[in-house]
A and B are shown apart, each in its own frame.
Chain A
Amino acid sequence: MSELSVNHLLGIKYLNEQDIQLIFETADHFKEVINRPIKKVPSLRDITIANLFFENSTRTKLSFELAEKRLSADVINFSASQSSVKKGETLIDTVNNILSMKVDMVVMRHPNPGAGVFLSKHVNASIINAGDGAHEHPTQALLDSYSIRERLGDVNGKNVVIVGDILHSRVALSNIYALKLQGANVMVCGPKTLLPKYIKDLGVQVETNLRKALNWCDVANMLRVQNERMDISYFPSTREYTQQYGVTKALLNSLDKNITIMHPGPINRGVEITSDVADSDQAIILDQVQNGVAVRMAVIYLLASKIKH
């Protein structure tokens, strides 16, 4: 078996197609493991992982922590709100202090784009980016592609539309890289104000009409409107956004085909998708969450196998 071409998972941008296939094949094995009566393997019993969350997170943090524990790694958790970061400590100092406690791997979420790359150049540990500002969220993109592969058999050749707040979304950027790498056709759809100006340069199609986009696609990945990152008003009202870009059951039923609906969570029910869509057979939102643990186990396992004993 080949190994990953990278020592850190900083973004999908740094991976190649073989890396993604290797992660998926490994995740298949872990998915079988987490469905056993005893869901734990001892592989990483001599590895310590620090989860550093400089920004709030619920599901990503839980998912990483569960993945680490299922691999028998020792886990320490850190969140910025309760730490010396508030007292003015720099990122490198914070992390080096933690590393001097003999930590082998760091999972980090940070509000600044590039924080993971910066850290990987200054500290001696394997870094996994769990989201850096509006830049990348590689494990989310991997689990999204893994879920598409599981549902539709393959990602290659599929039409995937990413709907909503593309401008503030790290999920969108990582997904675009991952899907393009696997040969999918990618479209972004949203109000013009929430589409980055040069997004076409990434090789994606741009559409502002949701119905057209849904008629084109096999999979629609519905993003959350990130109100917390919006310092100005990007659309007149939530109600208007919902009318233009919200997916309802009636809209899905009026399409010529049966498309798959994804959502990275947390869902604003009734804004980007209605409850009956979120809970329908077409939605694979909870599969995404389950696959998230298996995919993160695969990433951690493969990176850990490159740490010299």
Chain B
Amino acid sequence: MSQKVLLNAKTINIILHRLACQLIENHNDFTNTVLIGLQPRGKFLANRLAEMLRTHYKIKNIQLGHLDITFYRDDFRRGEKILEANTTDIDFIVENKNIVFIDDVLYTGRSIRAALTAIQSFGRPNEIELLTLIDRRFSRHLPIQPNYRGRQVDAINEEKVKVNWMENEGEDAVYLVNS
């Protein structure tokens, strides 16, 4: 197994600042906008961006939630892997809100499809956008594209993109893993 560094901590930090600025450009003071991190791995990115918007860019009313999509996935009973549920934590109304889904890697688009269904359980949003740190081009199974992307990556199917966060793996880095 070999792995190559795609992004190091410094680059990730620059990208996060750019993504935060792009969000501010479109959502101003975020009065009608909510950020939703997709469980399990989008949570770290969402937390990081929310923190950055609050402290660095002094935006007061950032609403942040986490959405678990396990029960909405289309591969239940179809894989070897047992699907593990995570906590959903959305303590606000999404009716008529502008939602930004946040996930670390966009690959087939199936998780986003599940998230689009899952969020309907919380009301009818005004619009939904998608932000991902890594966009794996040419690997989509569904017509889904991000509105905000950190870095576009051309990886072949056998390769894996692994995103590490300080909060769980002790470093900020993105690797391309060849197994």
Using CB atoms and an 8 Å cutoff, list the residues of chain A in contact with chain B. Answer: 1-3, 25-26, 29, 32-33, 36-44, 46, 71, 301, 304-305, 307-309
Q: How far is the CA of A41 from the CA of B122 in the complex (A)?
A: 12
Contact with A along B83-120 (1 / 0, CB 8 A): 11111100000000000000000000000000001101
**Closest CB in chain A relative to B101 CB, distance in Å:** 18
Known: A29-B88, A32-B88, A43-B71. A305 touches B121 (CB 8 A): no
Q: How far is the CA of A191 from the CA of B127 in the complex (A)?
A: 64
Query: A41 touching B77 by the CB < 8 A rule?
Result: no
Contact with A along B111-147 (1 / 0, CB 8 A): 0000001101111000000000000000000000000
Query: B82 touching A2 by the CB < 8 A rule?
Result: yes
Q: How far is the CA of A304 from the CA of B117 in the complex (A)?
A: 21
Query: A309 touching B68 by the CB < 8 A rule?
Result: no
| B72 contacts A by Cβ under 8 Å | yes
Please provide the 6 A-B residue pairs with the shortest distance between their CB atoms, ordered closest to farther. A41-B71, A1-B84, A38-B121, A29-B85, A309-B77, A43-B71
- Which of B72, B83, B118, B122 is in CB contact (< 8 Å) with A305? B83
Known: A29-B88, A304-B77, A305-B83. A36 touches B121 (CB 8 A): yes
Considering only residues 61-92 of chain B, those with a C-beta below 8 Å from chain A are: 68, 70-73, 76-78, 82-88
Known: A37-B121, A38-B121. A305 touches B82 (CB 8 A): yes
A-B contact pairs, 22 of them (CB 8 A): A1-B82, A2-B82, A25-B85, A29-B70, A29-B71, A29-B88, A36-B121, A37-B122, A39-B121, A40-B121, A41-B71, A41-B118, A42-B71, A42-B72, A44-B76, A46-B77, A301-B71, A304-B76, A304-B77, A305-B77, A305-B82, A308-B77
| 14 additional contacts (CB under 8 A) given A38-B122, A42-B117 | A1-B84, A26-B85, A29-B85, A29-B88, A32-B88, A33-B121, A36-B122, A41-B72, A42-B72, A43-B73, A301-B71, A305-B82, A309-B77, A309-B78
Chain A residues near B118: list those with CB within 8 A: 41
Q: How far is the CA of A26 from the CA of B82 in the complex (A)?
A: 12
Q: How far is the CA of A32 from the CA of B163 in the complex (A)?
A: 29
Q: How far is the CA of A25 from the CA of B70 in the complex (A)?
A: 14
- Which of B76, B77, B87, B117 is in CB contact (< 8 Å) with A29? B87
Query: A3 touching B82 by the CB < 8 A rule?
Result: yes
Contact with A along B149-164 (1 / 0, CB 8 A): 0000000000000000
Chain B residues near A309: list those with CB within 8 A: 77-78
Q: How far is the CA of A4 from the CA of B70 in the complex (A)?
A: 17
Across the interface, name the chain B residue whose C-beta is closest to A302: B82
Q: How far is the CA of A309 from the CA of B79 in the complex (A)?
A: 9
Q: How far is the CA of A41 from the CA of B71 in the complex (A)?
A: 6
Chain B residues near A3: list those with CB within 8 A: 82
Chain B residues near A71: list those with CB within 8 A: 71
Across the interface, name the chain B residue whose C-beta is closest to A40: B121
Across the interface, name the chain B residue whose C-beta is closest to A71: B71
Query: B71 touching A305 by the CB < 8 A rule?
Result: no
Chain A residues near B120: list those with CB within 8 A: 38
Considering only residues 44-76 of chain B, those with a C-beta below 8 Å from chain A are: 68, 70-73, 76
Across the interface, name the chain A residue whose C-beta is closest to B118: A41
Chain A residues near B85: list those with CB within 8 A: 1, 25-26, 29
Chain B residues near A41: list those with CB within 8 A: 71-72, 118, 121
**Closest CB in chain A relative to B95 CB, distance in Å:** 9
Chain B residues near A29: list those with CB within 8 A: 68, 70-71, 85-88
**Closest CB in chain B relative to A288 CB, distance in Å:** 23
Query: B123 touching A32 by the CB < 8 A rule?
Result: no
Known: A29-B68, A304-B77, A309-B77. A37 touches B123 (CB 8 A): yes
